[in-house]
Copies of this chain bind each other. A is one copy, B any other.
Amino acid sequence: MARIVKAPEERRAEIVETADRLFREHGYAKCSVEMIIREIGVAKGTFYYYFKSKPDILEAIVDKTLAQIVESAKGIADEPSLTAMQKMEALLGNSHIGDDGSLEVAEMLHLPENRELHELTNIQTVLQLSPILAQIVEQGVGESVFEVDRPLETIQFLFTGAQFLTDGSMFGFSETELRARRLVMQTIIEKALGAKPGSFDFMNPIRTVE
How many monomers of this protein are in the complex? 4
Q: In this complex, what residue of B is CB-closest to A119?
A: B115
- Give the shortest distance, in Å, between A66 (CB) and chain B (any CB): 15
In the assembled complex, A62 has its CB within 8 A of some CB on chain B: no
User: Which chain B positions have C-beta within 8 A of A192?
Assistant: 187-188, 191-192
Chain A positions 164-210 with a Cβ under 8 Å from a chain B Cβ: 164, 167-168, 170-171, 180-181, 183-185, 187-188, 191-192
Q: How large is the interface on A (under 10, 10 to 19, 20 to 34, 35 or more residues)?
A: 20 to 34
Name the residue among A29, A116, A160, A163 with the largest chain B CB count within 10 angstroms. Answer: A160
- Give the shortest distance, in Å, between A179 (CB) and chain B (any CB): 10
Given A192-B188, A192-B191, answer yes or no on A180-B153 (Cβ-Cβ < 8 Å). yes
Q: Bound state CA distance, A164 and B125, in angstroms?
A: 12
In the assembled complex, A76 has its CB within 8 A of some CB on chain B: no
Give the interface of A toward B (CB within 8 A): 29, 115-116, 119, 122-123, 126-127, 149-150, 153-154, 156-164, 167-168, 170-171, 180-181, 183-185, 187-188, 191-192
Q: Give the 10 A-B CB pairs with smallest separation, nearest first.
A: A161-B161, A160-B164, A153-B184, A191-B191, A115-B115, A188-B192, A157-B161, A160-B161, A150-B184, A153-B181
